[in-house]
Structure 1
Amino acid sequence: MAKISTVEQNASIAIQQVTQTSQELLKNIDRGFFQEVQPYINKLYTGPIGHYMAKTILGIPLGNILAAFLAFTFVILLRKILTRHITRFLLYLTHKTETQLDDIIVNELKRPIRFLFVIIAFDLAFQFLFLDNRYTQLFLSTLLIVDIYWVFYAFTPALQKFLDDYSDKNPHLSRELGEFLVRIIRFLIIFTGLVSVLYNFGINVSAFLASLGLGGLAFALAAKDTAANLFGSIALMLDQSIKIGEWIKVNGVEGIVEDIGMRTTKIRTFEKSFVVVPNSIVANTNIENFSRRGIRRIKMSIGLTYDTPGETIRQIAEEIREMLQTHPGIAHDQTLMVRFDRFNPSDLGIFIYTFTNTSDWEKYLEIREDINLKIMEIVEKNGTDFAFPSQSIYVEKLPDNQVTKQ
């Protein structure tokens, strides 16, 4: 409990610091511009059209309303241009580095920078409208807090890129684990930003965080299935039993893994159905991962007619074996068997057992088709034929009355 209390205190202090920083930034933002422009607006009230400009709407002179509108519109229209120049300058600096991570960060910062100019536009408009009060400051500081956490969020794509590159260099680490960590970080940024906004509105953040700690047990009991799915997803990513894009069969569902989320695993079946399986089931069920085989088995039996001589059967089996041993699509380091193994009711069976050197379904079918055609050529070359299910009936003697009729 002491550790939890310390974490809550540290989180509360960090949130208060972010909120106070946003308020201090707001006090210093574009204040000099209003003080310099307002004297020129005052001259309108003493000019030829002063009696029009001095008219008030809700207690605000028309001249200041017009100035607020023009200032807001001017900043909004220029924000894309200003953002473009700022990002170009930042990209010019980042292009001097070898990594691409800083380029990703700059590109992601475009929207927070653009949103900052919206805040400036509102601030200017409020100043010209003489609305510099507690409520407008609360509104602007809330927007600024959102923008600060938006900047934090903009770093997560670069973090995702870094983790992806690291997992590519270290095959024992999965991309899915990196994606999961980034999702957790993004959730924490959004959650902390929400709490900061609440603090800015005067809500007691310490009590709020303490209530979360006290309610943790009740929440865990109420959401035990969700917690089980969450821990199941962590187990899947640490074990690396499945990855996105792999062909698996789990809990009776067979298909391609499209996503491994925090709660569920999404599988696209070969019938193109979309199946969502809870991670707790995936983690606690036997998983058959076909993509990790590397090879695929060919197991079949061909039947020759009963009038095929034994020497011909031996010759056919030997030629099939030699064909498979030299075939480029066969895994030659795996088991290979071609044997005349049984007398079936309608044929003489030759058992064939081998493996292709690929697990890709389409390539596997191409190899199997080629092997089947070569087997047909071998059988035809040796002057025999494939048998088909048949039945012979031998009649020893017909009744005398039927013989007389015939």
Structure 2
Amino acid sequence: MKIFNWAYDIFKNLNCSDSLSSYLNLAINIIILVVVAYLLDYLFKKLFIIFLAIVAARTKSTFDDFLVANKTAKYLAHLVPLLFVYKTVPVILKNFTYWEYIFEKGIKIYIIILSLWITRSIFNSLRDYLKQKPRFSDKPIDSYIQVIMLFLWLFGIISFILILFDVSKTALLTTFGSVSALIILIFRDTILGFVASISVSVNDMVRIGDWITMEKFGADGDVVEINLATVKVRNFDNTTTTIPTYSLISDSFKNWRGMLDSDGRRIKRHLLIKANSVRFIQPDELDNFKKIQHLTAYIEHRQADINKYNENNGIDKSVIVNGRNLTNLGLFRKYINQYVESHPGINKDMLLMVRYLQPTENGIPLEIYCFSKDKTWSNYEHIMADIFDHVMASLPYFDLEPFEIVSTPSQI
């Protein structure tokens, strides 16, 4: 305050005898004002930064560390020279009413801008601090902050207009209403992003860290950032895809969070069996199939039921197609079902089945439908490959053949 009083006395005692000397004194006063304001800004900026750095080093919380990183002390230090200029300008411009009026407007506008900078710096520090907390790490904090800052900047712009043009709030709102269609056209993407950001956050559609797939934009990877205008996805090939936020509510996309939160990752894959390799099992073949451990109990129980049925109904078994019979494909399906159930990588508490799909011109699809315990991509692929390696290698033991398209000489 002594500096302020000293400067105030200097400017107060300066006399303006005529127009030329008045402008000369004005120029000198402005130069002194700028120099003193610069020195105050430099001095207090150093003091604030050092003070905040010392506080950050001595506290356990990391919030003050982020205040330092986001230059909050620097913006706060600007308040001191601003206060000095605000108190001094009316003194040095007391004989220049018009310029005093202009400078007063400029200072008010700068106060608004500086307030927005300080607020933004604090919010950015809060964002960085919350992202370190597990509870908030997957929340779209950027969107929340951008929405708040959007309203603050809108308020600031309205304040700029009111200060610059001395218009009433009623007249300004009337003008905004008249040009609202043009405003909507210009800020269409921002408005859509604002609405979408709120919808995404309220409905918990996407979180940071979610694996999403959106074919329209070629996105297939983890969400790394959600803000007011865009959603940034880091694809599995380490490329980055940027998706407009409003596309998440206007277009379809797949979020894999449900799978990751569940008890297993689905395996749903089929192989094609050549139709003409399917046949009935001859009675003399059963002993060989009983040697397969996964089929021993099943064959004994199933064959007993079949024999009982055929005897009770007087079936003529001189022709094998008569009555009920075991088939190589049926035994193979049961074997694969038992093998998958015994696999250590499969979750037995979730749905598991081996089924036929609709036969096609390319053979009979035999589908394995189950869920792996491990949901990590590489481990999941390993489990699935391990199962299908065994399935393919088991086909010859059941006298079955996989369907393959054989190239003819004309196609080679």
> Would you say same fold, with TM above 0.5?
yes
Counterpart CA distance in 2 for 1:149 and 1:348 is 68
2:194·2:229 contact (CA, 8 Å) conserved in 1? Answer: yes
Which one of 268, 277, 280 corresponds to residue 298 of structure 1? 268
SS in 1 for 2:78: helix
Report the counterpart of residue 6 of structure 2 in structure 1.
33
Counterpart CA distance in 2 for 1:240 and 1:351 is 34
Counterpart CA distance in 1 for 2:62 and 2:208 is 25
SS in 2 for 1:139: helix
Tell me: CA distance 1:260–1:29, structure 2 relative to 1, closer, same or farther (3 Å).
farther
Tell me: CA distance 1:65–1:363, structure 2 relative to 1, closer, same or farther (3 Å).
same
Report the counterpart of residue 330 of structure 1 in structure 2.
346
Deviation of 1:186 (Å): 0.8
Counterpart CA distance in 1 for 2:258 and 2:362 is 39
Report the counterpart of residue 389 of structure 2 in structure 1.
373
Deviation of 1:278 (Å): 6.2
Which one of 83, 86, 111 corresponds to residue 48 of structure 2? 83
Deviation of 1:243 (Å): 2.9
Counterpart CA distance in 2 for 1:342 and 1:116 is 76
Report the counterpart of residue 180 of structure 1 in structure 2.
143
Report the counterpart of residue 362 of structure 1 in structure 2.
378
Deviation of 1:185 (Å): 1.1
For 1:58-137, what aligned pairs fall within 5 Å after superposition? 59-60=24-25, 71=36, 74-88=39-53, 91=56, 100-101=62-63, 104-105=66-67, 108=70, 109-116=72-79, 119=82, 130=92, 134=100, 135-137=102-104
Deviation of 1:248 (Å): 3.4
- 1:237 and 2:201 are equivalent in the alignment: yes
Tell me: CA distance 1:220–1:328, structure 2 relative to 1, closer, same or farther (3 Å).
farther
SS in 2 for 1:201: helix
Tell me: CA distance 1:32–1:170, structure 2 relative to 1, closer, same or farther (3 Å).
closer
2:214·2:254 contact (CA, 8 Å) conserved in 1? Answer: yes
For 1:239-318, what aligned pairs fall within 5 Å after superposition? 239-250=203-214, 252-253=216-217, 255=219, 256=221, 257=223, 259-262=225-228, 265=231, 272=239, 274=241, 276-277=243-244, 279=246, 282-294=248-260, 295-301=265-271, 303=273, 306=277, 310=281, 311=289, 313=328, 317=333
Q: Could you tell me the percent identity over the aligned residues?
A: 16
CA deviation map 1:58-100 (0-9, x unaligned): 62499878856754554454344222233246547xx66x765
CA deviation map 1:187-228 (0-9, x unaligned): 122222233333443522413553267448656875796555
Deviation of 1:296 (Å): 2.5
SS in 1 for 2:347: coil
CA deviation map 1:155-185 (0-9, x unaligned): 323554687689x5499xx712x44332121
Deviation of 1:377 (Å): 5.3
2:347·2:371 contact (CA, 8 Å) conserved in 1? Answer: yes
SS in 2 for 1:175: coil
Tell me: CA distance 1:291–1:73, structure 2 relative to 1, closer, same or farther (3 Å).
closer
CA deviation map 1:22-50 (0-9, x unaligned): xxxxxx895313146789x9xxxxxxxxx
Tell me: CA distance 1:389–1:69, structure 2 relative to 1, closer, same or farther (3 Å).
closer
Provide structure 2 residue ranges, at least 5 long, that are not aligned to the other structure.
15-20, 282-288, 293-327, 407-412
Counterpart CA distance in 2 for 1:202 and 1:236 is 39
1:68·1:124 contact (CA, 8 Å) conserved in 2? Answer: no
2:353·2:369 contact (CA, 8 Å) conserved in 1? Answer: yes
Q: Structure 1 counterpart of 2:353, which letter?
A: M
Tell me: CA distance 1:206–1:368, structure 2 relative to 1, closer, same or farther (3 Å).
same
- 1:148 and 2:115 are equivalent in the alignment: yes
Counterpart CA distance in 2 for 1:162 and 1:372 is 47
Counterpart CA distance in 1 for 2:39 and 2:30 is 14
CA deviation map 1:308-357 (0-9, x unaligned): 99437577655544442233432322222246889998988754332223
SS in 2 for 1:297: strand
1:298·1:368 contact (CA, 8 Å) conserved in 2? Answer: no
Deviates further, 221-230 or 322-331: 221-230
Q: Structure 1 counterpart of 2:199, which letter?
A: A
- 1:389 and 2:353 are equivalent in the alignment: no
For 1:334-349, what aligned pairs fall within 5 Å after superposition? 334-338=350-354
1:265·1:277 contact (CA, 8 Å) conserved in 2? Answer: yes
SS in 2 for 1:148: helix
Q: Structure 2 counterpart of 1:157, which letter?
A: N
CA deviation map 1:343-394 (0-9, x unaligned): 99898875433222355443322222222334355557x5978545378xxx
Tell me: CA distance 1:347–1:210, structure 2 relative to 1, closer, same or farther (3 Å).
closer
Q: Structure 1 counterpart of 2:167, which letter?
A: N
Tell me: CA distance 1:277–1:144, structure 2 relative to 1, closer, same or farther (3 Å).
closer
Report the counterpart of residue 194 of structure 1 in structure 2.
157
Q: Structure 2 counterpart of 1:353, which letter?
A: Y
SS in 1 for 2:345: coil
